Amino acid sequence: MPISRHFKSRKNRKGQSLIETLTGFMILIPIGLLSYDLTYILIATQNNEMLADNAARAAASHSDPVTAQDSAQKALGDFQQTSNYGTVALNDFTYNDENNGQVSLTMTMTIKIPVVFGPWSTMTVNAQSVQPIVGIPAPR
Amino acid sequence: MDKLHSQNNTNRALVYRGKHGASLALVAVCAGILILSIVLIFRIVMYLGGVQELNSTADAAALNIAKRSMEIKTSPSVTQYGGVFSDCTDSQGQIGLSNINRIWGKAYLINANVEEMTANQQITNAASTAADRAYQAAQEINDDLYAKLKDSFTLGSFFDQIAGIRFHKMLGNPQVSSDTNNNWSTALIDRGDQSNLAANSNQIPGPAKSRFAGVAVGNNTYLPGYFPMQANNKNFYYISFHNGETTHLVTENYFQRNRGDKLGLADISNPLPNAFSGYGATANSMNSHSFAVANPQRQYNLSTPHAFVSISLVNLAYWIVQGRQVNVTTYGFTPATQFGANHIPLGASGNNYLDGYASLGNEFQGSNSLWTALTSIQQDPTDVLASVVQRMQEITPDFSLSNLQQLLQQQQLLPNASTYIIYPSYSNLDATNPSIKIAVVTQPPNKSLPKWLNTAAGNDGQQKTLATKEPVQDDPNYNWQMVYGPNFQSGQHWTEVGGNIDWTPSTGYSQTLGQLTIMHTTRAFFTANQVN
């Protein structure tokens, strides 16, 4: 057998392995990174919902809409200080003490995707919460 | 040899081709397992998140039930004798969890008054009946409210009001409702802690006072919640509501340990709960429980709001000629001469007679006030006024002896007035925060008095003398006489001026808490001596 043909086939085998390994990595690593992103988004969404509930409950313990909204903002501020998911904003705050006696609000979180895929670097999620107002004394 | 090499190359190629295919397959399998794992973890996280959402909904709904339990109300008119509690309702004339303690508090005071009257031997059948009716009425109001607080439909609607509008994205937004719940358990929590009824032991009369068990919180004392107190052989209870707290969640363990159906109150029928449970489920039978305690954030004073104490003045003059009482008259509050023994015959001939005169009302000379009228009999009236002060403290707990003295000093004695009342005036519709006033009772009634005030209400206890002034001769009232006829001449004449202070207690069932009677008595003695 000629020596060059033997040597060529060995080089081809090594090249094939490298390509297969790289191909494997190119498939598995993005899948892994995507799953990390998904998990991050899920956890951030859950935290956003908990924040919405906590802020609404804090607001509901007050007897007037101004202090109620301030309390909700404070809950948001405290969350923002300790989390790094992204920015959170309080929207659609309603303190209805006349009709249904409820506080409702929406928390909008703009999540910074940890692993950026192309143009997909942020994601916005909303969480709504409704809580009964407990801060108003029973009428005389 | 070439054939062998070719065969070897073919074999190696076959082996090499097999290994090449295995790597890709391995990658494909790993990718598939990875993707499946991701999907599985995703579903688990979504499920756990959904459970969290469901629990949050149950929390919010339980809070709504506890908060709106304050809106469940009843009326005093549900019971035959409920009119006695018309002064303990809210501004709409209704009774709910926030003010039911006022009902029980007034019933307790009425019965404590009866217990005192029994101990002091001043009890009457009317008073005993009043206490029984007050207790019966309080229990019937309590029972009606109890039934309403247990109504599944009402509690379920409170639950659904919140649960029906909350979102559960991680569960696919199913509807959460209470439709499948038929066990709206309630609890009596914070037993032995404060109620929302402030009180002090000075408000409680007689023997019941020794059983007073207040809960000190800050500068105030409150009646204990879910800790029965006895008066007149009956048990009274109050609902626990912590001062400074709002309606809030409680743990399941704490709730279950204090459930009313598992751990009731001894000798108390249908104790009203202060804690409620919320249960909701989705269509696929995922469910959640939560528990909350209600708090009205209102405090009241133990009191009998629509009540009064009266002070009655009686000045009597007895006219005694030759040892025989010939006349009884009343006299006023300013010095005046009375001709009470008019042409009284002396002897049998009919030719002799006596005219007797007296200067009466001199007790009130100088400072002409209720206080003077009182102190002219008892110089230091502290002891006799103690009963009045205690009864007034059943209207407002911070009423003091000095308040009473000030009212009595400022009230001038009016010429034709014999009765005065000390009563509360309210600016709130729910009869709280009174200001105490004094006024004269007139016929027809003074229009400046509150409309609720019934000055004609009678006292249902027995009168008892608290203080007696020993008669003093010719001071300050005195008399003189004129004797006519041939056979008699003027003899000795003198007055004996004394008096007493009486107290007639009352239960408060018919508004009156008692009457202090200040009686001045002047006996005018006239004598004549036969000359022949």
pLDDT 10s digits, B358-413: 999 998 887 789 998 999 898 899 999 999 999 999 999 999 999 999 999 999 99
Residue A31 banded pLDDT, cuts 50, 70, 90: confident
Residue count (chain A)? 140
All structural domains of chain A with their residue ranges = 3-132
Rg (CA), chain A: 27
Least-confidence region, from B65-69, B163-167, B212-216, B287-291: B163-167
pLDDT for residue B2 is more than 70: no
CB contact under 8 A, B67 and A133: yes
**For testing the chain A interface, which of B247, B288, B293 should be mutated: the one with the most A CBs within 10 Å?**
B247
Contacts of residue B247 in chain A, CB cutoff 8 Å? 134
Residue B15 contacts A, CB cutoff 8 Å: no
What average pLDDT does the segment B292-315 reach?
A: 96
CB contact under 8 A, B161 and A31: no
pLDDT 10s digits, B326-351: 999 999 988 999 999 999 999 988 89
Q: Is B224 helix (H, G, I), strand (E, B) or coil?
A: strand
Least-confidence region, from B127-131, B183-187, B481-485: B183-187
pLDDT of amino acid B5: 60
Distance from CA of A46 to the nearest CA of B (A): 6
Mean predicted lDDT score pLDDT of chain A: 86
Mean predicted lDDT score pLDDT of chain B: 92
Residue B476 contacts A, CB cutoff 8 Å: no
Q: Which residue of B has its CA nearest to A25?
A: B27
CB distance B532 to B152 below 8 Å:
no
Supply the angle between the helices B152-163 and B2-68 in degrees, to the nearest 10.
130
Contacts of residue B26 in chain A, CB cutoff 8 Å? 24
Contacts of residue B88 in chain A, CB cutoff 8 Å? none
**For testing the chain A interface, which of B29, B169, B293, B300 should be mutated: the one with the most A CBs within 10 Å?**
B169
Distance from CA of A81 to the nearest CA of B (A): 23
Distance from CA of B50 to the nearest CA of A (A): 9
What average pLDDT does the segment B290-303 reach?
A: 96
Q: Which residue of B has its CA nearest to A134?
A: B247
What average pLDDT does the segment A57-83 reach?
A: 93
Share of chain B above pLDDT 90, in %: 75
Q: Which residue of B has its CA nearest to A39?
A: B42
Contacts of residue B13 in chain A, CB cutoff 8 Å? 9
pLDDT for residue B180 is more than 90: no
Residue A135 banded pLDDT, cuts 50, 70, 90: very high
pLDDT 10s digits, B92-115: 999 999 999 999 999 999 999 999
- The residue with tokens 């659609």 is A92
What average pLDDT does the segment B259-264 reach?
A: 91
Which tokens sit at B192? 């032995």
Which residues of chain B from 169 to 228 reach within 8 Å of chain A, CB to CB? 170
User: Do β-strands B336-346 and B419-425 pair in parallel, antiparallel, or remain unpaired?
Assistant: unpaired
User: Do β-strands B336-346 and B352-360 pair in parallel, antiparallel, or remain unpaired?
Assistant: antiparallel
Indicate whether this complex's ipTM tops 0.90.
no
pLDDT for residue A102 is more than 70: yes
pLDDT for residue A7 is more than 70: no
Contacts of residue A13 in chain B, CB cutoff 8 Å? 16
All structural domains of chain B with their residue ranges = 47-70+82-301, 308-530
pLDDT of amino acid B345: 95
Residue B178 banded pLDDT, cuts 50, 70, 90: confident
Q: A99: Cβ–Cβ under 8 A, 6 or more apart, which residues? A: none
Select from B2, B31, B429 the Cβ nearest to the Cβ of A31: B31
Residue B12 banded pLDDT, cuts 50, 70, 90: low
Question: Which of B421, B402, B323, B413 has its CA nearest to residue B376?
Answer: B413
pLDDT of amino acid B10: 53
pLDDT of amino acid B181: 74
Instruction: Please give the Cα distance from B478 to B493 (Å, whole number).
Output: 9
pLDDT of amino acid B214: 94
Q: Is B249 helix (H, G, I), strand (E, B) or coil?
A: strand
CB contact under 8 A, A42 and B162: no
Contacts of residue A34 in chain B, CB cutoff 8 Å? 38
pLDDT of amino acid B155: 93
Instruction: Please give the Cα distance from A6 to B6 (Å, whole number).
Output: 11
Which residues of chain B from 150 to 169 reach within 8 Å of chain A, CB to CB? 161-162, 165-167
CB contact under 8 A, A134 and B26: no
Select from A13, A28, A100 the Cβ nearest to the Cβ of B27: A28
CB distance B128 to B233 below 8 Å:
no
Which neighbouring-strand residues pair with B525? Answer: B320, B494
pLDDT 10s digits, B442-499: 888 888 999 999 999 999 999 999 999 999 999 999 999 999 999 999 999 999 999 9
Share of chain A above pLDDT 90, in %: 49
